Amino acid sequence: MKVARPVLKERCIAVMRTSTLTKKTAGIDGVKSLTPVQRLALVRKLALKGKAMPTRRVWIDKPGTDEKRPLGIPTMYDRALQALVKLALEPEWEARFEPNSYGFRPGRSCHDAVEAIFATIKQKAKYVLDADIAKCFDRINHRELLKKLNTFPTLKRQIGAWLKSGVMDGKQLFSTSEGTPQGGVISPLLANIALHGMEERIKQFAETIDLKDQRGRQQGKRDKRKSLSLIRYADDFVILHEEITVVTRCKEIISEWLNGMGLELKPSKTRLAHTLNRYEGQDAGFNFLGFNVRQYLVGKHNTAYKSNGKPLGFKTLIKPSKEKVKVHYDRIAEVVDRHKTSTQVALIAHLNPIIKGWANYYRTQISSKVFAELDHKVYKKLISWAKRRHPNKSWGWITNKYWQTIDGENWVFATTQTGQDPTRLIKHRTTEIVRHVKIKSDASPYDGNLVYWSTRMGHNPEMPKKVATLLEEQKGKCAHCKLQFTEESVIEVDHIIPKSKGGKNEYKNMQLLHRHCHDKKTASDGSLGTKSGCNSAKPKPDKSGNRGINDNDLIT
């Protein structure tokens, strides 16, 4: 049988991405990492043979519950081969995926999904179906998935082999007749492919609704289709509409659609509610991805407004959910209790990553009040920790030892290190609240818009690192005219203080300018002689005729 041999470059990328992981968990081969020589040997061996080794079953805790989640860890060879197949499939499916699908996709995040919900309800209170798919990864129908995949026979055979490879739990081998193993490199992509089509099915239903719109049936259809929204992050999704009958019918339609993939809704996590008012004894609002989404009745001074300027009488607030706040504080308290006899430095070293990571996740919404309340609770917990360590010392002695005044800020839990920077505990409320900008609905990292993706992510394989970093810092705007860069813009790197006048070649002395803005700035600061001949030449048009960014445009 002829074996498919992918090109060398893609094989090298696949091996690099899977053999240099920070969390090293071995499959049934027992291999956790590879040496450079072993990586090169693996690159030469990779081939699509249509075979696969069983995965290794690992059980992990589900946050906030007593349940365990099963992971299936592939062997190092299968891990690299899955990454290789993903390189081939992902660009095609990124062009096809629905606009309101946000989970396990490059360039998209939980915050994009939450912002999509905010944009949907900010000017109108709506009913919501908050739903979760029961054991989504474990129950996907293999035949339906491969049918929907509709790819080349070689890839189809290889993916089918992974799906049917079985799982080793301890020393026992179990067959896998359904589902995709969580823990595999390609599993999230396969799950997204399996769930692709949910949003379109809902929109098809929206077009069939009998409307009573005086402006005409066709105009009414467009309005109704737009007002019915399905927003999905992996196997969690919400359906939003102003009429409860429409939302209820959508629940039935989605249940029927999921049955075709061998899936069903999880009753314990499926809930009907309203964003503003109580509904059937249920509190207003809902929780999604750790956030609580709710609307509140407010007075004329605090109300949100319609696009035409009329007051709504309510305001939409998205905050950290009470459950997630409690889980976070309990984790902090557990760390403090576990370090009763540890030094202050050791305690701070364990707490800072927990506080920083949690605060960074919730920094995009209305979290200031929650941050302040958490800091107060942590302060009281630390007081108990300090008093227990020194039961015979006075309150003044304890506070002088463990709490300092740093840069004008009092009551900072920090060490007293004379002549050195003290080790200090991060406070939640020092994290700046920054509103997240939602991704464009049809945007994809594979669409070729280098300026947009470098601005969002700060890196792009086709964009010079220097330019990508500066684009992110400047939020995609020219430092001179403050206008947004576009795909057609000719962008140049400028030294704020010219090198001829002692300026250094470092990031804080660099900025991105349009070519014409750079010419104006150069003429005014007297650094005309610093441009090299190649850098001052006109950029050559690319194959499409656009004069975009190229190496000769970058003034270094």
Q: What pTM was estimated for this model as a whole?
A: 0.84
Residue 355's CB is within 10 A of a number of other CB atoms, namely: 23
Contact between 428 and 375 (Cβ < 8 Å) = yes
Q: Transcribe 444-486 into DSSP letters.
A: -TTS--HHHHHHHHS--TTS-HHHHHHHHHTTTB-TTT-PBP-
Q: Transcribe 282-294 into DSSP letters.
A: BPSSEEETTEEEE
Nearest to 479 by CA among 488, 487, 467: 467
User: Of how many residues is the chain composed?
Assistant: 556
Q: How many CA atoms lie within 13 A of 208 on its CB side?
A: 10
Nearest to 7 by CA among 52, 41, 48, 35: 48
Q: Domains plus CATH for the chain? A: 8-118+127-226+233-274 (no CATH), 323-424 (no CATH), 450-525 (1.10.30)
pLDDT of residue 4: 60
Contact between 72 and 184 (Cβ < 8 Å) = yes
pLDDT of residue 545: 42
Contact between 74 and 184 (Cβ < 8 Å) = yes
Q: Taken in order 194, 198, 199, 203, is the CA torsion positive or negative? A: positive
pLDDT of residue 225: 53
Secondary structure of the chain: what % helix, strand, coil (to 5)?
40, 15, 40
- Give residue 230's identity as a one-letter amino acid code: L
Helix (H, G, I), strand (E, B) or coil at 57: strand
pLDDT of residue 126: 94
Q: How big is the CA angle at 216 (ends 219 and 224), to the nearest 5 degrees?
A: 40
Task: Tell me the longest C-alpha to C-alpha distance in the chain.
Answer: 82
- pLDDT tens, position by position, for the chain (556 residues)? 455 666 788 889 889 888 875 467 888 888 888 888 999 999 999 999 989 999 998 888 877 677 788 888 899 999 999 999 999 999 999 999 999 999 999 989 999 999 999 999 999 999 999 999 988 888 999 999 999 999 999 999 999 999 999 988 888 888 888 888 888 899 999 999 999 999 999 988 888 764 444 344 444 444 555 689 999 999 999 999 999 999 999 999 999 999 999 999 998 889 999 999 999 888 999 999 999 999 999 998 888 888 888 888 999 999 999 999 999 999 999 999 999 989 999 999 999 999 999 999 999 998 999 999 999 999 999 999 999 999 999 999 999 999 988 888 889 999 886 656 788 999 999 999 999 989 998 888 888 888 888 888 887 777 888 888 898 888 889 998 999 888 888 888 998 888 888 888 888 899 999 998 998 888 887 665 444 333 333 334 444 444 344 433 443 3
pLDDT of residue 418: 60
Residue 482 in tokens: 């403050």
